[in-house]
Structure 1
Amino acid sequence: MLRIWGRANSSNVMKVLWLCEELAIPFERVDAGGAFGRTKDPDYLAMNPNALVPTIEDDGFVLWESNAILRYLARTRAPGSAILPSDPKAAADCERWMDWQLASLNAPMTTVFFTYVRIPEPERDWPATAKARDAAERLWSMVDARLQRHDFVCGASLTLADIAFGPYIHRWFALPIERKPMPALEAWYGRLKARPGYAKHVAVAMS
């Protein structure tokens, strides 16, 4: 059985758990990271020298990096599925947005999230948070423009791009921040919340 190492409140672990629900992949999750520790233990570092989560073990194969895990599970559990299109151009489009999530969206969204959820109030850097919020809003505007033409990021059906964005869009709408109206983005968030795996693993209380 697939083993997933990582705490359930990690955005990167949420992605993997949600995909497993979408594809009906049986799995065992082992708490690691944050308050659970374990990630700096020698046996964990032997699997993942970054000391981060998630890490998966699949019949002796070990893999880390959440978006790489998404691709691996889609290819091994649902080859040819629309969740990772087989057409090279459609696949490149999907993977481009996955890479953009890591390269562009991750940093400002992490700053805003940590400010409101993880960092004690006396230690919060409000100017940095305001700058990150503005950056995130500009980036979400790009996604909103895309969603004005499609129900999901890459077309008519859910793909790994939506799954990569999933934890971050929940935080965007759940955090106590100002947001300019983005009707297409909000409608897409509603469609995600209607999916059982997303409701179970992603659209949850932030911690």
Structure 2
Amino acid sequence: MTRLLTVWGRANSVNVMKVLWLLDEMALPFERIDAGGAFGRTRDPDYAAMNPNATVPTLVMPHGFTLWESHAILRYLCRTQPGGNLFYPEAPEARADVERWMDWTLASLNEPMRVIFWTLVRTPEEQRDMAACARARDGAERLWRIVEARLEGQDYLAGGFSIADIAMGGFLHRWFALPVERPPMPRLEAWYARLQARPPYAKHVAVPLS
């Protein structure tokens, strides 16, 4: 029996969502094993041998290769699996454009969106630091305005649909799903609608927050 590639990680992790989304875009069969959060497992010796960070996701290929860090997994899958160039172009400038938005997502957007999400979704109401949440919302709005400007005259972050959109798309869903004030950003809203029309996004990413 042919072994499937395996993704370790809980389905409600924004970083796991990225990988599941790409796998379905590429029509690659896979199995997912719950790990992280309430499922535990990430500090077990067998998991630590694959990923010493005790984080998710971890990718395990049929031939035994393991990889952690969601954006590294996205790039690896595009470089090694059929059709990957559709999502991660070969031309140096086009590839750099994709990669800078992936890096910007982690370096800039991740932190304010994490604070808002954890405050409003995963922290009991009586323990919430609403002042920190408000500061994070303001910071996130400033960053989303950068994306709004970027989308002028184009449908996706780096021209055609790519893993740049996959890297940021989970945070985009949270921005529109979280109960925060959002100023009108019509290009951002149109991009969100385009992503929602993609079945893998609707299945793995545009889901109730938990």
- What is the TM-score of this pair, normalised by structure 2? 0.96
Alignment counterpart, residue 158 of structure 2, candidates 141, 151, 154: 154
CA distance in 2, matches of 1:149, 1:173: 22
Q: Determine if the alignment matches structure 1 residue 196 to structure 2 residue 195.
A: no
Alignment counterpart, residue 170 of structure 1, candidates 167, 173, 178: 173
Q: Determine if the alignment matches structure 1 residue 81 to structure 2 residue 103.
A: no
Q: Deviations over 1:24-79 (max 9, x none)?
A: 01101000000000000011011101000000101210000000000000111135
SS in 2 for 1:81: helix
SS in 1 for 2:56: coil
What is the RMSD of the two structures over their aligned residues, measured on CA atoms?
A: 0.8
CA contact (8 A) 2:77 2:84 kept: no
CA distance in 2, matches of 1:197, 1:15: 10
SS in 1 for 2:6: strand
Unaligned runs of 5+ in 2: none
CA contact (8 A) 1:167 1:202 kept: yes
Q: Which amino acid is 1:134 matched to?
A: D
CA distance in 2, matches of 1:159, 1:181: 25
Residue 20 (structure 1) aligns with: 23
Q: Determine if the alignment matches structure 1 residue 97 to structure 2 residue 114.
A: no
CA contact (8 A) 2:11 2:204 kept: yes
CA contact (8 A) 1:70 1:160 kept: yes
Residue 39 (structure 1) aligns with: 42
CA contact (8 A) 1:3 1:29 kept: yes
Residue 140 (structure 1) aligns with: 144
Where does structure 1 differ by over 3 angstroms across 4 or more consecutive aligned residues? none
CA distance in 2, matches of 1:122, 1:34: 21
Q: Deviations over 1:79-109 (max 9, x none)?
A: 5623101001100010010000000000000
CA distance in 2, matches of 1:82, 1:97: 17
CA distance in 2, matches of 1:82, 1:194: 18
Residue 185 (structure 2) aligns with: 182
SS in 2 for 1:70: helix
CA contact (8 A) 1:80 1:86 kept: no
Residue 122 (structure 1) aligns with: 126
Q: Determine if the alignment matches structure 1 residue 62 to structure 2 residue 60.
A: no
CA distance in 1, matches of 2:66, 2:84: 23
CA distance in 1, matches of 2:84, 2:171: 27
Q: Deviations over 1:102-141 (max 9, x none)?
A: 0000000000001110000011001100000000000010
The percentage of counterpart residues that share the same residue type is 66
CA distance in 2, matches of 1:91, 1:11: 23
Quote how far apart the aligned CAs of 1:148 are: 1.3
CA contact (8 A) 2:26 2:84 kept: no
Q: Which amino acid is 1:55 matched to?
A: T
- What is the TM-score of this pair, normalised by structure 1? 0.98
Q: Determine if the alignment matches structure 1 residue 2 to structure 2 residue 5.
A: yes
